[in-house]
Amino acid sequence: MAVNPVHSGQHPYCNHHFCQECMKYNELDTCVDSVFQQITGIAAPEGFGRPFERAFSMFHSGNRQEAKAAAYICSLFLSAILEGYPTAHLHTFVHHIEESIQRFSFNCNMYESIFKEMDSKELTAMSLIQADNRPTTRKCSKEDIFEAFDFYTNR
């Protein structure tokens, strides 16, 4: 029988006992980054997910790491569709994050408001990951961002 890391056992991709416990010790940031690194094989590039995380934080009163996890999912999605990053890694990351972190929730009625909170300068050089795990920057359009929002909200 599979063990749900939210309730018992050790999280499979971090050295912390249960992500719920990580939140008590303010270590969830390390947990999200550890999951990312274990699945992708690299540390998150400088600025990865930052435009999403900042905007999501404006609309989310929960743990900051819920917004960070959502930001990483959106950025990995853009990496997959724009840079050919392996979708298997994206889906594995989503699966493990969903098992351990409460979901930041928003809907299509909020897309425009969230987008307005995103720094337009950062959108001209969005930090993404190429198919070979090399970091890159790319200009992302409003349509790209809304596609990432759609992926996140509809998964």
**DSSP character for 130?**
-
Say what the pLDDT of residue 8 is.
Answer: 38
**Residue 43 parent element (H or E):** none
Give every residue of the chain whose pLDDT is below 50, as ranges.
1-28
Q: Please report the domains of the chain, with CATH numbers, ordered by start residue.
A: 19-154 (1.20.1090)
For residues 112 and 65, what is the distance between their CA atoms, to the nearest angstrom?
22
pTM here is 0.81
Yes or no: say if 152 and 108 are a contact pair by the CB < 8 Å rule.
Answer: no
The pLDDT score that the predictor gives to residue 149 is: 98
5-40 residues labelled b (16+ CB within 10 A) or e (exposed): bbeeeebebbebebbbbbbeeebbeebbbbbbeebb
